[in-house]
Amino acid sequence: DGGITQSPKYLFRKEGQNVTLSCEQNLNHDAMYWYRQDPGQGLRLIYYSQIVNDFQKGDIAEGYSVSREKKESFPLTVTSAQKNPTAFYLCASSRTSGSLNEQFFGPGTRLTVL
């Protein structure tokens, strides 16, 4: 099956801990994205990567870090510096970063800080 997978589906974190969310795609897409979704708000872009070994900050990058060592993988680390990390995190990919290219989304990871 081609698609995007995210793991875990649910994640619980204690305050002060770093956690890493996994995102893998087998669509051979160049571009990958991380979004955060909060109730009553539109998706907000955290980081994006147009190509391997390159990534750019989105609108709300503070407290997050990413890496893009392989084309198919784009993990997101939520650090202890992120003040309010409880949210639904969505990973997406597209063939390129061009605007007409559809972004395909993974199933999401719900992160809860205890």
Reading the block at residue 6, the tokens are: 């995210």
CA distances for 1 relative to 5, 21, 107, angstroms = 11, 21, 14
Q: How far apart are the first and last CA of the chain?
A: 35
Q: State the residues that interact with another protein by CB under 8 A.
A: 4, 40-45, 90, 92, 97-100, 102-103, 105-108, 110
Residue 44 beta carbon to another protein: minimum distance, rounded to whole angstroms: 8
| Nearer CB in complex with another protein: 33/64 | 33
**Residue (11 or 80) nearer to another protein, CB:** 11
- In whole angstroms, the minimum distance from the beta carbon of 41 to another protein comes to 6
d(CA 42, CA 35) in angstroms, rounded, equals: 10
Q: In angstroms, what is the minimal distance from the CB of 102 to another protein? A: 5
Q: Please tell me the distance from the alpha carbon of residue 99 to that of residue 55, in angstroms, as a whole number.
A: 17
- Our CB check for another protein shows the closer of 1 and 69 to be 1
Contact 64, 75 (CB under 8 A): no
Please, what is the minimum distance in Å from the beta carbon of residue 75 to another protein?
Answer: 17
